[in-house]
């Protein structure tokens, strides 16, 4: 690995990120073709079901005769199986290109080193692991799905300066959120929702806040809404049941499915959290944003079922109320959004 290899791999990562929100559950991948120190082609995976990064990069090369003396940089191991598109490893081997530099190997059992084997058997020099950490981080949801067989889990909450999620509210209180953060923070949350395919809350949050869980303050697709309503306490007039976007309810009660509304039956002896994560994995949903209350958030934390936590600390004092969860870790990132502080924790940091 050289600084030159890292330079072109950084460009692969820049390209790959351009596919964000468009390629899931596939990974974001970028590819660059270099000949005699010059980029002669580049591309990225821009749409699920569309051509992969290597295909687009090769297509961009005007003089294909140069490929036999070219190096192809790609942020993720070229695929080796027939899916919605033919194997990219076979494409590179067909020329063959002179050298391939791979950022990270693919955890998908259908690939998992097979693409690299195809290249080496074709006589291509292969270098693996250039900026591997950055390449894996870009596709952390993809790697989590294939290595842990569950979605990448992001916990999110807002708390007061003195560590409360909410004030105490009587049962007859209006169904609306008690805001802790500012408008800038709330807009950022809508951006996050547009970046993740699913979002989850618990019964109490649905009852107290009656959230829409959409992206009305950002441009993008609404995530699939997930609610855990084990004994069927939620009334049908909540925003959750308006059928405006795909919604999944986990419950022990028998309910007929409707347009955009799916009920998943949970047995008494099955942990509803395990059931929901298994369901999301089976549906190919690679990440989950959890915006629940104290009970739901702590159920994830106590079982070490989280990968990232995003905590807003507002500029208010409650003095009493519902206690916020506690993460026993140092923040990996901290920033201010006007009068609100954002702390980001990562489980492995």
- 77 is annotated as an active-site residue: no
Cβ atoms of residues 84 and 55 within 8 Å? no
Cβ atoms of residues 22 and 46 within 8 Å? yes
Rounded distance, CA 229 to CA 265, Å?
Answer: 10
Q: Which two tokens stand for residue 282?
A: 């089976």
Cβ atoms of residues 218 and 187 within 8 Å? yes
* 3-state DSSP of 225-288: EEEECCCCCCCCCCHHHCCCCCEEEEECCCCCCECCEEEEECCCCCCHHHHHHHHHHHCCCCEE
Q: Which of 145, 140, 58 is nearest to 97 (CA)?
A: 58
Greatest extent of the chain over all pairs of C-alpha atoms, in Å: 75
Q: Which two tokens stand for residue 313?
A: 């600390």
Rounded distance, CA 295 to CA 235, Å?
Answer: 20
Q: Which of 300, 329, 307 is nearest to 196 (CA)?
A: 307
Rounded distance, CA 311 to CA 325, Å?
Answer: 10
Cβ atoms of residues 177 and 209 within 8 Å? yes
**Among residues 42, 54, 196, 308, which one is catalytic?**
54
DSSP label at residue 24: T
Active site residues: 54
């Amino acid at each position: 690995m050289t600084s030159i290899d890292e330079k072109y791999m950084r460009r692969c990562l820049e390209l790959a990120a351009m596919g964000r929100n468009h390629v899931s559950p596939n990974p974001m991948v970028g590819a660059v073709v270099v000949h005699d120190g010059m980029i002669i082609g580049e591309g990225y995976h821009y749409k699920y079901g569309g051509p992969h990064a290597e295909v687009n990069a090769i297509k961009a090369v005007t003089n294909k005769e140069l490929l036999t003396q070219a190096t192809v940089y790609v942020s993720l191991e070229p695929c080796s199986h027939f899916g919605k598109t033919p194997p990219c490893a076979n494409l590179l081997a067909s020329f063959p290109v002179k050298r391939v530099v791979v950022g990270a190997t693919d955890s998908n059992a259908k690939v998992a080193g097979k693409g690299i084997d195809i290249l080496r058997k074709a006589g291509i020099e292969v270098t693996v692991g250039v900026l591997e950490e950055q390449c894996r981080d870009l596709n952390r949801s993809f790697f989590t799905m294939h290595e842990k067989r569950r979605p990448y889990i992001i916990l999110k909450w807002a708390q007061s300066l003195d560590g409360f999620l909410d004030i105490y509210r009587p049962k007859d209180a209006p169904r609306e959120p008690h805001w802790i953060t500012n408008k800038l923070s709330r807009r950022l949350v809508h951006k996050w929702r547009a970046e993740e395919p699913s979002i989850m809350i618990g019964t109490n949050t649905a009852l107290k806040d009656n959230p829409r869980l959409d992206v009305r303050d950002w441009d993008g697709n609404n995530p699939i809404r997930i609610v855990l309503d084990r004994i069927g306490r939620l009334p049908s007039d909540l925003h959750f049941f308006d059928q405006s976007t795909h919604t999944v309810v986990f419950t022990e009660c028998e309910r007929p499915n409707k347009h955009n509304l799916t009920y998943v039956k949970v047995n008494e002896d099955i942990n509803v959290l395990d059931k929901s994560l298994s369901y999301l994995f089976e549906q190919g949903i690679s990440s989950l944003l959890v915006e629940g209350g104290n009970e739901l958030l702590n159920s994830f934390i106590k079982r070490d079922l989280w990968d990232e936590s995003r905590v807003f600390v507002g500029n208010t004092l409650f003095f009493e109320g519902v206690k916020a969860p506690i993460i026993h870790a140092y923040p990996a990132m901290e920033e201010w959004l006007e009068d609100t502080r954002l702390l980001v924790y990562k489980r492995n940091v």
